[in-house]
Amino acid sequence: MIAFIEGLVAGLDGDCAVIAAGGIGYEILMPASALQSLPAPGSPIRVYTHMYVREDNIGLFGFLTRDDLKMFRQLITVSGIGPKAALQILSVMSVDELRMAIVAEDVKRITAAPGVGPKSAKRVIIELKDKIDLDEITGRVSTGAEDASSAADDQAVKDTILALTALGYSNTDAVRAVRAVEDAENLSSEALLKAALRKITIF
């Protein structure tokens, strides 16, 4: 198993990055968003990799963070989701956006990925829902988001506001969405987050 490849960016070849390391040029399939974030040719880079092996196919899939790699590996455990479909999903949304879509059971958001239909999106939600840890999202929020939630006394309310702002929603919209949920103070963090996500898409 190749955990990562560290070398120099040699260029792009379609949907692959070519990384030169140890005198070898590795073609690594990557999400479109990652390819767009690659540094200029000749720049040093570390790519976290997953080697996918089948009788008729061997592919090396790469990611710029371990978190992206972790989500890719979770996606390919879903029945009907192969590595290329997983790559398409991670090309149209960030890992945190995908986690939020799964928690909110947002089939439409996941089907934004080319080649991923409603049935496949529902399987992603059903099979990965219990594997999503909200702390993975709320643990990366900014100080501004923490300030926005400081007025909230209930922990579930705080966690939901933090999660929404971590996804890029404004502090105002995050608080507004939570307040629009009936009986918010008595809901679990997961239930409140689902409800708030539905409200915030209406605004």
Architecture of the CATH domain 67-131: Orthogonal Bundle (1.10)
What fold does the segment set 4-63 form as a domain? Answer: OB fold (Dihydrolipoamide Acetyltransferase, E2P) (2.40.50)
Q: What is the mean pLDDT of each run of 10 residues along the chain (203 residues)?
A: 93 94 96 94 97 86 96 96 95 89 86 95 94 63 44 70 81 82 83 86 62
Q: Considering all CA atoms of the chain, what is the largest pairwise distance in Å, rounded to the nearest integer? A: 62
What pTM does this model have?
A: 0.73
Extract the runs of DSSP E, i.e. beta strands, from 35-164.
Answer: 44-54, 57-63
Q: Given this model, what pLDDT does residue 55 score?
A: 78
CA distance 143 to 126: 33
The amino acid that residue 138 corresponds to is T
Q: Residue 58 — φ and ψ, nearest 5°?
A: -130, 125
Q: What is residue 9's DSSP assignment?
A: E
pLDDT at residue number 197: 87
The radius of gyration computed from the CA coordinates of the chain, to the nearest angstrom, equals: 19
For 55-178, strand residue ranges (E) read 57-63
- Name the DSSP letter for residue 113: S
